[in-house]
Protein backbone atom coordinates (compact mmCIF):
# COMPACT_ATOMS: atom_id res chain seq x y z
CA UNK A 1 0.00 0.00 0.00
CA UNK A 2 1.39 3.38 -1.02
CA UNK A 3 0.49 6.70 0.55
CA UNK A 4 -2.08 8.58 -1.56
CA UNK A 5 -3.29 10.83 1.26
CA UNK A 6 -1.06 13.73 0.29
CA UNK A 7 -2.49 13.88 -3.22
CA UNK A 8 -6.10 13.89 -2.00
CA UNK A 9 -5.45 16.52 0.67
CA UNK A 10 -3.51 18.78 -1.66
CA UNK A 11 -6.29 18.65 -4.25
CA UNK A 12 -9.00 19.30 -1.67
CA UNK A 13 -7.26 22.26 -0.06
CA UNK A 14 -6.30 23.74 -3.42
CA UNK A 15 -9.87 23.58 -4.79
CA UNK A 16 -11.25 25.04 -1.57
CA UNK A 17 -8.70 27.80 -1.24
CA UNK A 18 -8.24 28.90 -4.84
CA UNK A 19 -11.33 31.19 -5.03
CA UNK A 20 -9.89 33.26 -2.13
CA UNK A 21 -6.61 33.93 -3.92
CA UNK A 22 -6.00 37.51 -4.91
CA UNK A 23 -2.99 38.89 -6.72
CA UNK A 24 0.13 36.87 -5.89
CA UNK A 25 2.84 38.56 -3.83
CA UNK A 26 6.61 38.51 -4.05
CA UNK A 27 8.31 35.20 -3.14
CA UNK A 28 10.31 35.09 0.09
CA UNK A 29 13.42 32.99 0.65
CA UNK A 30 15.55 32.11 3.68
CA UNK A 31 18.90 30.35 3.96
CA UNK A 32 20.56 28.90 7.03
CA UNK A 33 23.78 27.04 7.71
CA UNK A 34 25.63 25.79 10.75
CA UNK A 35 28.72 23.92 11.87
CA UNK A 36 29.70 22.63 15.27
CA UNK A 37 30.84 19.96 17.69
CA UNK A 38 28.97 17.21 19.53
CA UNK A 39 29.94 14.95 22.43
CA UNK A 40 27.71 11.92 22.96
CA UNK A 41 28.15 9.70 26.02
CA UNK A 42 26.52 6.75 24.24
CA UNK A 43 26.61 6.68 20.44
CA UNK A 44 23.40 5.05 19.23
CA UNK A 45 20.67 4.76 16.62
CA UNK A 46 17.45 4.56 18.61
CA UNK A 47 15.33 3.72 15.54
CA UNK A 48 16.92 0.27 15.35
CA UNK A 49 17.85 -0.19 19.04
CA UNK A 50 21.57 -0.03 18.18
CA UNK A 51 23.74 1.32 20.99
CA UNK A 52 27.52 1.20 21.45
CA UNK A 53 27.60 2.00 25.15
CA UNK A 54 30.65 4.12 24.33
CA UNK A 55 31.27 7.86 24.12
CA UNK A 56 32.53 9.73 21.07
CA UNK A 57 32.77 13.22 19.63
CA UNK A 58 31.48 14.34 16.24
CA UNK A 59 31.59 17.23 13.79
CA UNK A 60 28.24 18.70 12.77
CA UNK A 61 27.16 20.37 9.56
CA UNK A 62 23.73 21.57 8.47
CA UNK A 63 22.34 23.54 5.52
CA UNK A 64 18.81 24.70 4.79
CA UNK A 65 16.85 26.64 2.18
CA UNK A 66 13.20 27.71 2.37
CA UNK A 67 10.95 29.56 -0.05
CA UNK A 68 7.39 30.87 0.30
CA UNK A 69 5.23 32.05 -2.58
CA UNK A 70 2.12 34.10 -1.64
CA UNK A 71 -0.76 33.43 -4.04
CA UNK A 72 -3.00 36.02 -2.45
CA UNK A 73 -3.95 37.45 0.92
CA UNK A 74 -5.04 34.07 2.29
CA UNK A 75 -3.20 31.46 0.25
CA UNK A 76 0.48 30.56 -0.02
CA UNK A 77 2.71 27.62 -0.86
CA UNK A 78 6.18 26.76 0.39
CA UNK A 79 9.14 24.58 -0.46
CA UNK A 80 12.15 23.67 1.66
CA UNK A 81 15.21 21.47 1.87
CA UNK A 82 17.56 20.67 4.77
CA UNK A 83 20.69 18.59 5.05
CA UNK A 84 22.28 17.61 8.36
CA UNK A 85 25.43 15.54 8.84
CA UNK A 86 26.98 14.04 11.97
CA UNK A 87 30.50 12.60 11.50
CA UNK A 88 31.95 10.73 14.51
CA UNK A 89 35.67 10.63 15.21
CA UNK A 90 35.84 6.92 16.17
CA UNK A 91 32.49 5.26 15.49
CA UNK A 92 32.25 6.26 11.84
CA UNK A 93 29.84 3.40 11.16
CA UNK A 94 27.29 5.50 13.10
CA UNK A 95 27.83 8.61 10.92
CA UNK A 96 24.43 10.03 10.05
CA UNK A 97 23.39 12.13 7.06
CA UNK A 98 19.78 13.29 6.71
CA UNK A 99 18.19 14.83 3.60
CA UNK A 100 14.80 16.46 4.21
CA UNK A 101 12.69 17.87 1.37
CA UNK A 102 9.30 19.41 2.12
CA UNK A 103 6.44 21.29 0.50
CA UNK A 104 3.09 22.59 1.61
CA UNK A 105 0.09 24.79 1.05
CA UNK A 106 -1.38 27.21 3.59
CA UNK A 107 -4.79 28.85 3.68
CA UNK A 108 -6.20 31.35 6.21
CA UNK A 109 -9.93 31.63 6.83
CA UNK A 110 -12.23 32.96 9.58
CA UNK A 111 -9.36 33.44 12.04
CA UNK A 112 -7.95 29.95 11.43
CA UNK A 113 -4.69 28.96 9.78
CA UNK A 114 -4.90 25.69 7.86
CA UNK A 115 -2.08 23.86 6.10
CA UNK A 116 -1.13 20.60 4.47
CA UNK A 117 2.55 19.66 4.47
CA UNK A 118 4.41 16.89 2.69
CA UNK A 119 7.82 15.58 3.75
CA UNK A 120 10.36 13.24 2.20
CA UNK A 121 13.21 12.23 4.53
CA UNK A 122 16.18 10.11 3.52
CA UNK A 123 18.64 9.04 6.21
CA UNK A 124 22.06 7.57 5.45
CA UNK A 125 24.23 5.73 8.01
CA UNK A 126 27.94 5.44 7.21
CA UNK A 127 27.13 6.66 3.71
CA UNK A 128 24.66 3.84 3.05
CA UNK A 129 20.89 4.12 2.68
CA UNK A 130 19.27 3.49 6.06
CA UNK A 131 15.73 4.89 6.33
CA UNK A 132 13.23 6.62 4.03
CA UNK A 133 10.18 8.40 5.44
CA UNK A 134 7.32 9.82 3.38
CA UNK A 135 4.59 11.66 5.23
CA UNK A 136 1.63 13.97 4.81
CA UNK A 137 0.21 16.17 7.56
CA UNK A 138 -2.86 18.43 7.57
CA UNK A 139 -3.04 20.94 10.44
CA UNK A 140 -5.31 23.62 11.84
CA UNK A 141 -4.27 26.40 14.21
CA UNK A 142 -5.66 29.57 15.73
CA UNK A 143 -4.53 32.45 17.90
CA UNK A 144 -6.97 33.09 20.74
CA UNK A 145 -6.62 36.57 22.14
CA UNK A 146 -3.06 37.77 22.64
CA UNK A 147 -1.73 34.95 24.79
CA UNK A 148 -2.90 31.54 23.57
CA UNK A 149 -2.00 29.77 20.34
CA UNK A 150 -3.51 26.36 19.62
CA UNK A 151 -2.58 23.85 16.92
CA UNK A 152 -3.81 20.39 16.02
CA UNK A 153 -2.53 18.06 13.31
CA UNK A 154 -2.66 14.56 11.92
CA UNK A 155 0.33 12.80 10.31
CA UNK A 156 0.37 9.74 8.10
CA UNK A 157 3.88 8.40 7.57
CA UNK A 158 5.41 5.52 5.65
CA UNK A 159 8.78 4.22 6.89
CA UNK A 160 11.09 2.05 4.78
CA UNK A 161 14.25 0.55 6.34
CA UNK A 162 16.90 -0.50 3.84
CA UNK A 163 18.42 -3.29 5.93
CA UNK A 164 15.46 -4.53 7.97
CA UNK A 165 12.19 -4.98 6.10
CA UNK A 166 10.44 -6.23 9.25
CA UNK A 167 10.59 -2.66 10.60
CA UNK A 168 8.91 -1.14 7.52
CA UNK A 169 5.75 0.49 8.81
CA UNK A 170 2.88 2.92 8.50
CA UNK A 171 2.45 5.35 11.37
CA UNK A 172 -0.63 7.42 12.21
CA UNK A 173 -0.27 10.23 14.75
CA UNK A 174 -2.49 12.92 16.25
CA UNK A 175 -0.80 16.01 17.70
CA UNK A 176 -2.17 18.77 19.96
CA UNK A 177 -0.02 21.77 20.89
CA UNK A 178 -0.58 24.93 22.89
CA UNK A 179 1.64 28.00 23.31
CA UNK A 180 0.99 30.27 26.28
CA UNK A 181 2.55 33.63 25.49
CA UNK A 182 3.65 35.42 28.63
CA UNK A 183 5.48 38.20 26.79
CA UNK A 184 4.91 37.29 23.16
CA UNK A 185 7.67 34.98 21.92
CA UNK A 186 10.05 36.71 24.32
CA UNK A 187 8.68 34.50 27.09
CA UNK A 188 6.37 31.54 26.61
CA UNK A 189 5.36 28.07 27.74
CA UNK A 190 4.70 25.34 25.16
CA UNK A 191 2.70 22.18 25.83
CA UNK A 192 2.32 19.23 23.50
CA UNK A 193 0.64 15.84 23.39
CA UNK A 194 0.82 13.07 20.79
CA UNK A 195 -0.92 9.76 20.24
CA UNK A 196 0.40 7.43 17.57
CA UNK A 197 -0.04 3.91 16.30
CA UNK A 198 2.47 2.01 14.16
CA UNK A 199 1.66 -0.98 11.98
CA UNK A 200 4.89 -2.70 10.92
CA UNK A 201 5.66 -5.54 8.52
CA UNK A 202 6.95 -7.57 11.48
CA UNK A 203 4.20 -8.02 14.07
CA UNK A 204 6.62 -7.63 17.00
CA UNK A 205 7.21 -3.97 16.01
CA UNK A 206 3.52 -2.92 16.13
CA UNK A 207 2.87 -0.46 18.93
CA UNK A 208 0.57 2.22 20.35
CA UNK A 209 2.27 5.23 21.88
CA UNK A 210 1.70 8.48 23.70
CA UNK A 211 4.03 11.39 24.32
CA UNK A 212 3.83 14.60 26.33
CA UNK A 213 6.20 17.55 26.37
CA UNK A 214 6.58 20.91 28.03
CA UNK A 215 9.00 23.69 27.09
CA UNK A 216 9.82 27.14 28.44
CA UNK A 217 11.44 29.85 26.39
CA UNK A 218 12.79 33.20 27.58
CA UNK A 219 14.69 35.94 25.78
CA UNK A 220 16.92 37.90 28.17
CA UNK A 221 18.32 41.31 27.25
CA UNK A 222 22.02 41.57 28.11
CA UNK A 223 23.33 44.92 27.02
CA UNK A 224 23.50 45.00 23.23
CA UNK A 225 22.56 41.34 22.81
CA UNK A 226 19.63 39.08 23.58
CA UNK A 227 20.27 35.68 25.16
CA UNK A 228 17.62 33.15 24.22
CA UNK A 229 17.09 30.27 26.62
CA UNK A 230 14.89 27.23 26.12
CA UNK A 231 14.28 24.33 28.47
CA UNK A 232 12.28 21.23 27.56
CA UNK A 233 11.06 18.02 29.13
CA UNK A 234 9.50 15.11 27.25
CA UNK A 235 8.06 11.71 28.17
CA UNK A 236 7.14 9.00 25.66
CA UNK A 237 5.49 5.62 26.27
CA UNK A 238 5.23 2.74 23.78
CA UNK A 239 3.22 -0.43 24.38
CA UNK A 240 3.94 -3.10 21.79
CA UNK A 241 1.00 -5.23 20.69
CA UNK A 242 2.69 -8.58 20.18
CA UNK A 243 5.32 -10.78 21.77
CA UNK A 244 8.96 -9.96 21.10
CA UNK A 245 10.57 -13.34 20.55
CA UNK A 246 13.89 -12.51 22.23
CA UNK A 247 12.21 -11.65 25.56
CA UNK A 248 9.14 -13.88 25.32
CA UNK A 249 6.78 -11.01 26.15
CA UNK A 250 5.35 -7.85 24.60
CA UNK A 251 7.89 -5.07 24.64
CA UNK A 252 7.33 -1.90 26.69
CA UNK A 253 9.35 1.32 26.38
CA UNK A 254 9.44 4.57 28.34
CA UNK A 255 11.64 7.41 27.14
CA UNK A 256 12.50 10.51 29.14
CA UNK A 257 14.33 13.49 27.65
CA UNK A 258 15.31 16.80 29.21
CA UNK A 259 17.46 19.58 27.87
CA UNK A 260 18.45 23.22 27.92
CA UNK A 261 19.51 25.35 24.96
CA UNK A 262 21.11 28.80 24.86
CA UNK A 263 21.55 30.98 21.77
CA UNK A 264 23.80 34.06 21.83
CA UNK A 265 23.80 36.42 18.84
CA UNK A 266 27.25 37.24 17.45
CA UNK A 267 26.04 39.64 14.78
CA UNK A 268 22.92 40.35 12.76
CA UNK A 269 23.10 37.00 10.95
CA UNK A 270 25.31 34.79 13.13
CA UNK A 271 24.73 33.20 16.53
CA UNK A 272 26.48 30.82 18.93
CA UNK A 273 24.34 27.95 20.21
CA UNK A 274 24.93 25.52 23.05
CA UNK A 275 22.75 22.65 24.21
CA UNK A 276 22.83 19.90 26.83
CA UNK A 277 20.36 17.01 26.54
CA UNK A 278 19.95 13.98 28.76
CA UNK A 279 17.91 10.95 27.67
CA UNK A 280 16.87 7.90 29.68
CA UNK A 281 15.41 4.96 27.73
CA UNK A 282 13.77 2.32 29.92
CA UNK A 283 12.72 -0.95 28.26
CA UNK A 284 12.28 -4.65 29.00
CA UNK A 285 14.33 -5.22 25.82
CA UNK A 286 17.97 -4.89 26.87
CA UNK A 287 19.10 -3.39 23.55
CA UNK A 288 16.62 -0.51 23.97
CA UNK A 289 17.47 0.16 27.63
CA UNK A 290 20.18 2.83 27.84
CA UNK A 291 21.03 6.36 28.94
CA UNK A 292 22.91 9.12 27.17
CA UNK A 293 23.92 12.74 27.61
CA UNK A 294 24.75 14.93 24.64
CA UNK A 295 26.63 18.25 24.58
CA UNK A 296 26.40 20.36 21.43
CA UNK A 297 28.10 23.62 20.47
CA UNK A 298 27.69 25.21 17.05
CA UNK A 299 27.74 28.46 15.10
CA UNK A 300 24.73 29.16 12.89
CA UNK A 301 23.99 31.69 10.16
CA UNK A 302 20.57 32.88 8.97
CA UNK A 303 19.90 35.04 5.92
The answer, yes or no, to whether residue 233 has pLDDT greater than 50, is yes
pLDDT at residue 25 in the model: 73
Task: Give the DSSP letter string of the chain.
Answer: ----HHHHHHHHHHHHHGGG--S----EEEEEEEEEEEEESS-EEGGGTEE----EEEEEEEEEEEEEEE-SSSEEEEEEEEEEEEEESS-GGG-EEEEEEEEEEEEEETTEEEEEEEEEEEEEETTEEEEEEEEEEEEEEEEETTTEEEEEEEEEEEEEESS-GGG-EEEEEEEEEEEEESBTBTEEEEEEEEEEEEEESSGGG-EEEEEEEEEEEEEEEETTEEEEEEEEEEEEEEEEEEEETTTTEEEEEEEEEEEEEEEEESSSSEEEEEEEEEEEEEESSGGG-EEEEEEEEEEEEE-
Q: Who has greater pLDDT, 221 or 101?
A: 101
The answer, yes or no, to whether residue 12 has pLDDT greater than 90, is no
Q: How far is CA 293 from the centre of its chain?
A: 19
pLDDT at residue 23 in the model: 56
Mean pLDDT score of the chain: 92
pLDDT at residue 24 in the model: 67
The answer, yes or no, to whether residue 212 has pLDDT greater than 90, is yes
pLDDT at residue 277 in the model: 98
Residue-wise pLDDT tens digits, 76-104: 999 999 999 999 999 999 999 999 999 99
Residue-wise pLDDT tens digits, 116-148: 999 999 999 999 999 999 999 999 999 999 999
The answer, yes or no, to whether residue 189 has pLDDT greater than 80, is yes
Average pLDDT, stretch 210-233?
92
pLDDT at residue 223 in the model: 74
pLDDT at residue 15 in the model: 42
pLDDT classification of 14: cutoffs 50, 70, 90: very low
pLDDT classification of 185: cutoffs 50, 70, 90: confident
pLDDT classification of 226: cutoffs 50, 70, 90: confident
CATH number of 5-302: 2.40.160.40
The answer, yes or no, to whether residue 301 has pLDDT greater than 70, is yes
Q: Who has greater pLDDT, 259 or 224?
A: 259
Residue-wise pLDDT tens digits, 40-87: 999 999 999 999 999 999 999 999 999 999 998 899 999 999 999 999
Average pLDDT, stretch 276-291?
96
pLDDT at residue 26 in the model: 83
pLDDT classification of 3: cutoffs 50, 70, 90: very low
Amino acid sequence: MKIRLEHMLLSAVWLFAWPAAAQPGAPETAFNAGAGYRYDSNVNIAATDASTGKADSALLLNLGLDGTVPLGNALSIWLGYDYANTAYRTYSDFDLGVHHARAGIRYKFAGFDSAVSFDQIKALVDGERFLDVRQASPSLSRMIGDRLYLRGSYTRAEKTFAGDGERNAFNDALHADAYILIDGMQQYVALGYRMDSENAAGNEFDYDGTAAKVAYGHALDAGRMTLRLKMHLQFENRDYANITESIGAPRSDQRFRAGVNAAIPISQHFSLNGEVTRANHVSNLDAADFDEIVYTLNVSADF
